[in-house]
Amino acid sequence: MNSKRKNLEDKILLPEINPGQVADEIGEFILNTILNIGGTGGVIGLSGGVDSTTTAALAKRAFDKYNANKQPKNQLELVGYILPSSTNNVKDTEDGIKVAEKLGIRYEIHSIEPILNAYKHTNPEALENGFDKGNLSSRIRANILSTKSATERKSLLGTGNKDEDYGLGYFTLFGDGAVHMNPVGNLSKRLVKQMARYLGFSEIADREPTAGLEHGQTDFKDLGYYYNLVELVIEGKDQGFSTRQLYVHKQVVSLAKKQMKKYEAMFGKKKFNDVEEMVFDILCRHAYVAKPKGEIIHPPTAPVTLSYIIGKEQPKKVEAKK
């Protein structure tokens, strides 16, 4: 949704969805992408988080509909892989298992720790700090998943959402971003959570987001803000608000101050000194991290219908990212 003019008093509009309709749209996208290359189904990494859970549930829903009138040999299969390391909380694995069993899909669990340790012979520098080790872990998982998808003649389903992957570029190049498609790439984190609840995974929807790449890591601790602020700021930018307007817009300021206060209370220090610094960080990540990464790795995303409600405005279908 774009606009050339915006007054500071104008409201930043956030998109809404009809979950059933969007679930069908994403399911159709997944099916078409797989069937166009003659694949036998999909492979997905299950972390127990809301993004992978929702993507898996959408794929299984689509496969079940497709398989209803197909002979067993022509049916599509979804396979989940749970790939923990020593930095993962045990609950991550437990939640991944619960998701796989609730969906009724085949799944496997493989620790990547022996593979990580093997890198001390060739890339010891990558194991010296949590950041590099975390990104190496992501690339190892990507290699395992892409190899599984190749040997099983299946497509690798990505789990990146709009805020993380296309808003901030908060993913590992040639790691979790190296996939055949990103089914929920046009849904914000807020809408992914809504979809999770619709699909019967309410218990997962409000789980604290974490990449699971470092001990004690959470996205909020790392970034200093939640994804609902990312969505608000980038929607505001897309709707025609200037950077200066976003610094002082009442919706942005109210949400940002609450999150700054919460961060200081949780961690005993400030991440940002003021709202302007916080918003600037989001916009810089969007322009100088997300967009350049997107030029390198840009898996297709599902076209979905988003509704920006203002007066009698009609729902808008957001096309897949090119």
Q: Where are the domains of the chain?
A: 19-301
- Beta-carbon neighbour count of residue 123 at 10 Å? 12
Place of tokens 């808003």: 167
DSSP-derived 3-state class of residue 248: helix
Greatest Cα-to-Cα distance within the chain, rounded to the nearest angstrom: 63
pTM of the entire predicted model: 0.92
Quote the pLDDT of residue 270.
96
Please give the share of the chain, as a percent, with pLDDT higher than 70.
Answer: 92
Indicate if the pLDDT at residue 195 is higher than 80: yes
For the segment 142-163, the average pLDDT, to the nearest whole number, is: 97
What's the DSSP call for residue 290? I
pLDDT, the chain, mean: 92
Is 320 in contact with 43 (CB distance < 8 Å)?
A: no
Quote the pLDDT of residue 73.
86
Considering only 41-50, 82-91, 141-150, 246-255, which range has the smallest mean pLDDT?
Answer: 82-91
Structure tokens at 243: 């950077």
For the segment 83-111, the average pLDDT, to the nearest whole number, is: 94
Q: pLDDT category, 212, cuts 50, 70, 90?
A: low
Q: pLDDT category, 130, cuts 50, 70, 90?
A: confident
CATH topology of domain 19-301: Rossmann fold (3.40.50)
For the segment 260-275, the average pLDDT, to the nearest whole number, is: 97
Amino acid at 287: A
Quote the pLDDT of residue 208.
76
Place of tokens 């993507």: 55
Q: What is the dihedral of CA 138, 147, 92, 267, to 10 degrees?
A: 10
Q: What is the distance between the alpha carbons of residues 42 and 96, in angstroms, rounded to a whole number?
A: 16
Indicate if the pLDDT at residue 311 is higher than 70: no
pLDDT digit string (tens) for 153-186? 999 999 999 999 999 999 999 999 999 999 999 9
Quote the pLDDT of residue 322.
37
Quote the pLDDT of residue 211.
56
pLDDT digit string (tens) for 29-79? 999 999 999 999 999 999 999 999 999 999 999 999 999 989 988 999 999
Is 187 in contact with 161 (CB distance < 8 Å)?
A: yes
Q: What is the distance between the alpha carbons of residues 122 and 126, in angstroms, rounded to a whole number?
A: 9
Q: pLDDT category, 321, cuts 50, 70, 90?
A: very low
Q: What is the distance between the alpha carbons of residues 298 and 291, in angstroms, rounded to a whole number?
A: 10
